[in-house]
Every structure is written in structure tokens, then in C-alpha cells.
Amino acid sequence: MLWEYADGTLASFAQFNANSAPANAKGALAEFRGTEGTLYLTHNKIEIVPEPVRTDEIPALDPRDRAGSARQGRATTQAADKAFTMTGATDTSAHARNFLDCVKSRKPCTCPPEVGHRSTTTTLLGNLAYDRGHELIWDGEAERFSNDEEANQLLSYEYRAPWKLP
């Protein structure tokens, strides 16, 4: 599913192979495949597995010379980068505690609300585009879709009294 920001930047949910890693080999919740490796994402772990990268040039071959392509032999490869694994906690109680402490003290939070908002925007917009079944154009300044008023209605909800946004 694809959506476009008002400035012309595109973002999409897609499924395609950019390398030779087997599909969901790690049983991850999400995997991102690049030409130099695969990033596997689970609830509490990020793992980057490098992909062998061809280091020698691939010459253009004459399609009539099938024997020539067989004579090329094996490609020279090297790992794109070192593997990387980072494990974290799925428990969010430390963030909640930090937020409550900062409400009292008026100090900045470990994760400021703006960072949390911006870090989830892309996935939430992608889910809306997927649910709507068509491309959505997002105006980041206005934080609204410019091509789907019904999708804009899904950006907020009615709060219980007496709570309201200004």
C-alpha cells in the first residue's frame, strides 16, 4: 500500500526480496530486506544479518554465448557489514514512570511526546492506507490527508466528558 506526503515523498508497504535471505527465517514480526542485509524485528529484539555482497563486476554477456556465462565461475563476495543484535525490554512501565515523574517535576521526558508521535506516524498512516485500500496523500504540516476526508475522520476520536482537546 502506498501513500504520498504533500511534499512528494513516498512511503509504502511492500513485499519483495532485495536479497537472497529466505522469507521470515527468524520468525520475526517484521523484516526489512536491503541489498546489504536483512533487519529482523521482534517484540524485544532487533537483529541485522549481513548479506554477502558481490565485489567483482558482472560483465555484460552476449546471450548467444551461453558457454561464456558458465566459464565465469563463482563470484567474489564479502559480508556487507558486521552482524548486529540488540535486545530490549517490552515492558513500558519505565516510560510510564518517567512520564509521571516528569509531569510532577516539569523536567523533559526520556522520550518527548513529539518523538513518540513522529516515530509512530508512518506505521499508523500505512495502516490507514491499507485499511482504506488506496493511496493516501499526507500533509505533514496540517497532519491531514489531502485526498480522503473519510480517512481524516479516522485520525481522532471523541473523548469521554469532561475530556477534550483545545
pLDDT given for residue 65 in this prediction? 64
3-state helix/strand/coil string of the chain: CEEEECCCCEEECCCCCCCCCCCCCCCCCEEEECCCEEEEECCCEEEEEECEEECCCCCCCCCCCHHHHHHCCCCCEEECCCCEEEECCCCCHHHHHHHHHHHHHCCCCCCCHHHHHHHHHHHHHHHHHHHHCCCEEEECCCCEECCCHHHHHCCCCCCCCCCCCC
Q: Give the predicted TM-score (pTM) of the model.
A: 0.49
Domain spans, the chain: 9-90, 92-157
For the cut 60, the answer to whether the pLDDT of residue 48 exceeds it is yes
